[in-house]
């Protein structure tokens, strides 16, 4: 489809119909479209001019002076030094954290081992006490059985 221009829109005439649109409203709307198209065409032209100026402008030299180059080298050397120092410090800190964690874990395990031993001794003592109560209870039951047996001989 060929491009529609502002002139074509403004010259376009429509035929009349019985139940058609309000001609004034259509004309006003087409005028608004023409105004917007002119504004956009002007903006496009302006942008094209600006880009052509930028494209044709002489490029500034990107050469670096010897003084600046030396400064850049010094800054780069300092950055490398800071990086290496930071990595060394991070490794030292990581090693210290790891060593501390290992020490705390070992201490915790020793504490748990002692606690386990204590609990095992307590369980053993409770078992012995339960066994003593059982033995005493069985003896009591045996004595009661013997007493019942003697008492039943009295009534028989």
Q: Which residue is associated with the tokens 């009661």?
A: 144
pLDDT 10s digits, 71-119:
888 899 999 999 999 999 999 999 999 999 999 999 999 989 999 999 9
Q: Which residue is associated with the tokens 């309000």?
A: 22
pLDDT 10s digits, 13-35:
877 777 778 888 888 888 889 99
CA distance 97 to 116: 28
Phi, psi for 59 (deg, rounded to 5): -75, 135
């Amino acid at each position: 489809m060929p491009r529609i221009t502002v002139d074509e829109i403004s010259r376009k005439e429509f035929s009349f119909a019985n139940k058609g649109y309000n001609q004034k409203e259509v004309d006003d709307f087409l005028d608004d479209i023409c105004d917007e198209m002119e504004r956009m065409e002007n903006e496009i032209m302006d942008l094209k001019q600006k880009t052509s100026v930028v494209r044709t402008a002489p490029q500034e030299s990107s050469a670096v002076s010897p003084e600046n180059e030396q400064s850049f080298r010094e800054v780069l050397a300092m950055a490398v030094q800071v990086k290496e120092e930071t990595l060394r410090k991070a490794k030292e800190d990581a090693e210290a954290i790891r060593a501390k964690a290992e020490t705390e874990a070992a201490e915790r395990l020793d504490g748990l081992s002692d606690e386990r031993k204590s609990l095992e001794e307590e369980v053993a003592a409770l078992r012995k006490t339960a066994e003593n109560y059982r033995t005493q209870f069985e003896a009591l039951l045996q004595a009661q059985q013997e007493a019942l047996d003697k008492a039943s001989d009295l009534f028989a």
